[in-house]
Structures are given as structure tokens and as C-alpha cells.
Structure 1
Amino acid sequence: MAAARTRRAVLALGGNIGDRMAVLQGAVDALFGAGTGLRPVALSPVYETEPVGGPEQGRYLNAVAVADCDLEPGELLALTQRTEQDFHRVREVRWGPRTLDVDVIALGGEISGDPRLTLPHPRAHRREFVLRPWSDADPEAVLPGRGPVADLLRALGDQGVHRRDDLQLHAPGSAG
């Protein structure tokens, strides 16, 4: 059996139902728990954002986690989906309200058109609620096939993304 290859993973987290902050922190704890194959490198500040697409709904809390990942793409997708299910994610309406959404934005420099997990995320370059926190977590970030995140951000208009300095996520085992 081949040794696992470590790659940098970028995960976008968000939710707008229930105790949004408790759900985001719970997701971070679950994703970076012992034995998951993910090790935190950086967590972004938390942002409050207007919903994009879908029905009328409340504002989201969003953040980005940057991690070292020993998982293959399908394994990472399974972990993110299990984490969503653990927080009672229901998929009834496309882009509808949800307790938790965990999107794989990038995995190393991988570019894949796999319909189960397209890499990088096909809409990440158009979403300030992904790019702004990612840029905070990793100012030198590059979206594979699209370019530097800072350049992509400059090309976007204001999408109603506001930093919440009163809220902070903590990696498991970190102080706070």
C-alpha cells in the first residue's frame, strides 16, 4: 500500500440555521478531530454574508479552513459530507438554508472535472464569501487554474460580506 500523499486542502464552511457559530465550531472540531486525515494550518476570521442564489433566507456565517490533508479526493468529500450530516444538513432546495455547508474548494493543485467533486470548486472564483476569508487565512493563496486569490477578489464587487471580529473559530487543541 502506497503512503498517503499530503496536499493542502481548502474548505469553505457556512451555515444560516440554528446557532450558526456553534455549528461552525463543531464542524471545525469534527473535521480536525483525531484520525480524520486533516491537520489545521490556518482558520480564517468569521464573516457574515448575504445568501447567494436560492430562496429568501437569513444571513450566513462563513469561514475557510486551510489544512494539510492525507486523504484522496473521494475520502475528503466523504468526510465533509459526514460532517454536514452530523449537523443535520438537509438538501431539499438548491442553495437553500442549511445548518452546515462544507465545500472542498481546492486540494493541492488538482484540477478535476469529476461530477462528484469538481476541483477546484467551480464557483469559488466568483464568491467573495469564499475568497475573502481564504485570503485572510492564506494571503498568498492561489486558486488552481484561476490565479491568485487576491487578484480574483479585486475583480469582484461588494457581495455583502462583512467580517465579524467578535466571533472566532479555534482549531482543536488550540487556546481559546
Structure 2
Amino acid sequence: MSCAVLSIGSNLGDRLAHLQSVVDELGPRVRAVSRVYSTAPWGGVEQQDFLNAVVVAEDENFGEYDWLALGRDLEAAAARVRVQHWGPRSLDVDVVVCRTGSGEVRSDDPELLLPHPRAHERAFVLVPWLDVEPEADLTANGHNRPVADWLAGLDETERDGVHRTELVLVDHAPDAGSHPRDRP
């Protein structure tokens, strides 16, 4: 059994539909979905703002590489093309953390660095993550801290670039009404 925190984003095409495709594909694996945020692009490349969200998903048959493969398949289905580093994209699916019964999975494999090596620097990951796991913690640079502390330590301009929208992603799973995102 593993639980993954997935950061999803889109700034090309039907951005909301691209994000919704992730939730739809995950189906009953979805445990929580954040609100949708509009966020300034990260990395210095001029481009349209992103829509971002975080999805927490579980699967008893998945390991960390299964989450990576699923993310890549979803990006391919959205016709993602990797042309420019930190450039525009139809869909980006990042595995932020993966947890098993043994705890947080750590990986130094260049194909899948876990926990995500820059998640603690990105308000567009931390803000939606706090929507669904307010008590979450994250290990970065050898330090484990609450996600809220990582967020508080970011530059104000980084935090101010993340704006909650009225957009929501719909979880069609049978127990969807019990997720934190359904509360005002």
C-alpha cells in the first residue's frame, strides 16, 4: 500500500480539463483533492499563469515508480511536450512524496527523486497541499518540518503568487462527499 501526494499543474489548452483528467484517471484511489489555484509561473520563463492543485491518492498495489509511470502516462495523454525547462505545459504531474507502511519513501534515483527536491521552495505545491493535509510534513535538505513552516519561510512574493480560485475538481468516487475539499 502506498499513498502519494501529487502536484498537478497546467497552463496550456483547457487547463481545468487537464487537471480533471488526473482526478478522473485516479478514480477510487483519490483520498483528497485540493481547491484549484491560479499561480504565477515558476522558473523565470515568460508564460501564462498555471492552474495548480494537489491530489492525495492511495493504491495497495502501487509503489513510487507506479505513481511516476501513471503521471507520465497522464502527461502524454494530455499531449505534453517537453521543449523548454520550466516552460509552458499542458499537464505536469509531480510525485511530491510517497508513503508506505514503513514511512516516507526516499529515492536518489535521478528519474524519481523523493521527496521532491524543490517542493519546499514552491508555494504552488505547499498551499494546495495544506488544503488537504494541514498537518503534513516534508523532508528537504535533511530537515523534516511541517509544510506550513516551509511555506512561512518562503519569500512573500512567492506566497503572493498563489491565488485560490472558485474552480474545483470533481471526484466521482463513491465517498467523494467526505473529502476536505468539499468543505467551505
Give the TM-score taking structure 1 as reference length.
0.88
Matching residue of 1:41: 31
Q: 2:46 — aligned with what? A: 56
* Identity value in percent: 49
Query: Matches of 2:116 and 2:48 in 1, distance apart?
Result: 24
Deviation sequence 1:20-56 (CA, Å, 0-9, x none): 11111112112x137xxxx111100110000001521
In the alignment, the residues of structure 2 paired with residue 83 and residue 142 of structure 1 have an alpha-carbon distance, to the nearest angstrom, of 27
Corresponding residue number in structure 1 for 2:91: 100
Q: Do the aligned partners of residues 134 and 79 (structure 1) sit closer, same or farther apart at CA in structure 2, a change above 3 Å counting?
A: same
Q: Distance in 2 between matches of 1:52 and 1:172?
A: 31
C-alpha separation in 2, matches of 1:16 and 1:163: 16
Q: Deviations over 1:80-104 (max 9, x none)?
A: 1001000011001111100000000
Structure 2 segments unaligned to the other structure (5+ residues): none
2:22 counterpart of 1:27: yes
Pick aligned residue for 2:59 from 65, 69, 73: 69
The answer for the alignment partner of 2:172 in structure 1 is 172
Deviation of the 1:73 alpha carbon: 1.6
**Larger strand share, 1 or 2:** 2
Instruction: Tell me how far apart the structure 1 counterparts of residues 110 and 49 of structure 2 sit (CA, whole Å).
Output: 28
Greater Cα shift, 9-18 or 72-81: 72-81
C-alpha distance in structure 1 between counterparts of 2:132 and 2:65, whole Å: 24
Question: What is the aligned partner in structure 2 of residue 136 from structure 1?
Answer: 131
Structure having the higher helix fraction is 2
Q: Quick one: distance in 2 between partners of 1:26 and 1:172?
A: 12
Q: Calculate the TM-score normalised by the size of structure 2.
A: 0.85
Secondary structure, aligned partner of 2:107 = coil
Q: Matched residues in 1 for 2:18 and 2:105: separation?
A: 29
**Secondary structure class of the residue paired with 2:27:** coil
Number of aligned positions between the proteins = 165
